[in-house]
Amino acid sequence: MTISDPPVWDGTSSDPNDEQFGDIVHETSLEDVSEYDAVFVGEPYDGAVIGRRGAREGPTAIRRALASLKTNHFDDGPVGTVADLGDVSFDGSRDGVAGVQSMVADITADVYERGSFPVFLGGDNSLTVGNVRPLLALDASVGVVSFDAHLDCREPLDGPSSGTPYRQLFDEGLDKLAVVGARHFETSTAYADFLGEVGGTILTADEVGRDPVQTTDFALDALANCDFVFVSLDVDVLDQTAAPGVSAPTPGGITTRELYTMLRRVASDSRVVGFEVVECAPSLDDSGRTVDAAARAVAHFLSGVTADA
């Protein structure tokens, strides 16, 4: 498995005052990733999806939507320095989902070891294992904040899938998991019980609706003893009206405004070492709503990460 050459980023505005992500994202190589505040790594793979496929198209579509966004956040000014490493190549991957997770982990380990802050553009939720596994090899406590409608703690009885990443990661030494935006009637009792038994935290979409800032603080408090925090965004955490282009869209989800508020708050935590966006499936989208929501989620997260960089 290799990484392809990064795409060329271009802004779309003819106004010289309109600084866009397309103007500031630079191509980079693995040797130079540490020179930037954050680096994109595309992961176009959806071979582990339980439901509808299409997430392999996510990285290209998210980049395209992000390129036309302005870089300015009213509270923190322009986003800092960002680069693009390119896409992981999954051509010829014949070892099943577990093999893909292992190969992804080898690549992401190199990114982490070079002192970079990776932003993984997925791809399906099985890739979370490869994105987090290198952190578990460190002599440190690791937690994950997962913005997701589901807990993704299924047992990998027939092998890993997009529904098993956190069961796998707990088996490998993950210390804490806080799921934010979980949807009622979307998770079996057995999996909710499992997360409770391992000391995980479930914060529902209802709780987010009452107070997204307080809910985010609860999630971070649940990971108070962790040295490193990884942040995962499964776009299906959004209500299906905002994100129809996912594997399993359902009603009762959170709003984009709530999500962006929470992402910025989490991103500002100094323990956060990586971020991923998964399960954005452009071919299942309606008028580009899901892709646009995902791209703006990346922008909001980056504004929080680079505000004090």
Do the beta carbons of residue 52 and residue 8 sit within 8 Å? no
Residue range 69-83: average pLDDT?
A: 95
The radius of gyration of the chain's CA atoms, rounded to the nearest angstrom, is 18
Measured in whole angstroms, the distance separating CA 197 from the mean position of its chain's CA atoms is 25
pLDDT digits (tens, 9 = 90+) for 258-291: 999 999 999 999 999 999 999 999 999 999 999 9
Q: pTM value?
A: 0.97
pLDDT at residue 15 is higher than 70: yes
pLDDT digits (tens, 9 = 90+) for 289-302: 999 999 999 999 99
Sorted by where each begins, the domain ranges of the chain are 21-306
pLDDT digits (tens, 9 = 90+) for 153-164: 999 998 999 999
pLDDT digits (tens, 9 = 90+) for 49-65: 988 999 999 999 999 99
Largest CA distance in the chain: 56
Do the beta carbons of residue 11 and residue 91 sit within 8 Å? no
Q: d(Cα 3, Cα 241) in Å, to the nearest integer?
A: 34
Q: d(Cα 122, Cα 143) in Å, to the nearest integer?
A: 20
Residue range 31-42: average pLDDT?
A: 95
Give one DSSP letter per residue of 226-270, joined into a string.
Answer: -SEEEEEEEGGGB-TTT--SSSS--SS-B-HHHHHHHHHHHHTST
Residue range 29-43: average pLDDT?
A: 95
Amino acid 45 reads Y
Q: How far is CA 298 from each of CA 144, 254, 303, rounded to the nearest angstrom?
A: 17, 17, 9
Percent of the chain exceeding pLDDT 70 equals: 98
Phi-psi region of 106 (alpha: psi -120 to 50; beta: other; left: phi over 0): alpha
**Cα-flanking dihedrals φ and ψ of residue 289, to 5°?**
-65, -45
Question: 54 exposed, middle or buried (CB, 10 Å; 0-12, 13-18, 19+)?
Answer: buried
- The pLDDT assigned to 95 comes to 74
pLDDT at residue 91 is higher than 90: no
- The pLDDT assigned to 51 comes to 83
- The pLDDT assigned to 309 comes to 60
- The pLDDT assigned to 308 comes to 61
- What residues pair up with 82 in beta bridges, in sequence order? 25, 38
Q: d(Cα 240, Cα 122) in Å, to the nearest integer?
A: 19
pLDDT digits (tens, 9 = 90+) for 204-260: 999 999 999 999 999 999 999 999 999 999 999 999 999 999 999 999 999 999 999
Out of 1.10.3720.10, 3.40.800.10, 3.20.20.60, 3.40.50.1950, select the CATH number for domain 21-306.
Answer: 3.40.800.10
Residue range 28-44: average pLDDT?
A: 95
